[in-house]
Amino acid sequence: EDKVVQSPLSLVVHEGDTVTLNCSYEVTNFRSLLWYKQEKKAPTFLFMLTSSGIEKKSGRLSSILDKKELFSILNITATQTGDSAIYLCAANSNSGYALNFGKGTSLLVTP
């Protein structure tokens, strides 16, 4: 059975800290891994990773995939209160037709 596991499930940091969110996956015929940010309602797309070792970057956020270890991390540097959200990781397979989501990491950034 395919599964996606995120850790930690929740995290509280101070503004300015750097955080690393983890996502491990076991997916048959893995194709890609996606990260989403959910602040209140609709998750918004952050990154899609298909190749190992190639970092994707957007401002203070970056992510990388390790297909050998079946693992991805999402880094946020110099965190701001606006980074407070649930971060969702999802895996895509060649054989499936829907994304398989982890439980999410709830991040709270305090002033």
Partner 1 sequence: DGGITQSPKYLFRKEGQNVTLSCEQNLNHDAMYWYRQDPGQGLRLIYYSQIVNDFQKGDIAEGYSVSREKKESFPLTVTSAQKNPTAFYLCASRTSGRIVSGELFFGEGSRLTVL
- Beta-carbon contacts of 98 under 8 Å, excluding residues fewer than 6 positions away, are none
Q: Does 94 bind partner 1 (CB under 8 A)?
A: yes
Q: Whole-number minimum distance, CB 41 to partner 1, in Å?
A: 5
Q: Which is nearer to partner 1, 17 or 37 (CB)?
A: 37
Q: Which is nearer to partner 1, 14 or 45 (CB)?
A: 45
The residue type of 41 is: K
Question: In three state form, how does the secondary structure of 14-26 look?
Answer: ECCCCEEEEEEEE
The one among 72, 76, 79, 102 contacting partner 1 by CB under 8 A: 102
- Rounded-to-integer distance, Cα 26 and Cα 46, Å: 21
CB atoms within 10 A of CB 111: 7
Binding mask 16-55 for partner 1 (x = CB under 8 A): ---------------xx-x------xxxxx--x-x-----
Reported as type and span, the H/E element at residue 7 is: strand 3-7
Per CB under 8 A, residues contacting partner 1 are 6, 9, 31-32, 34, 41-45, 48, 50, 88, 90, 92-94, 96-104
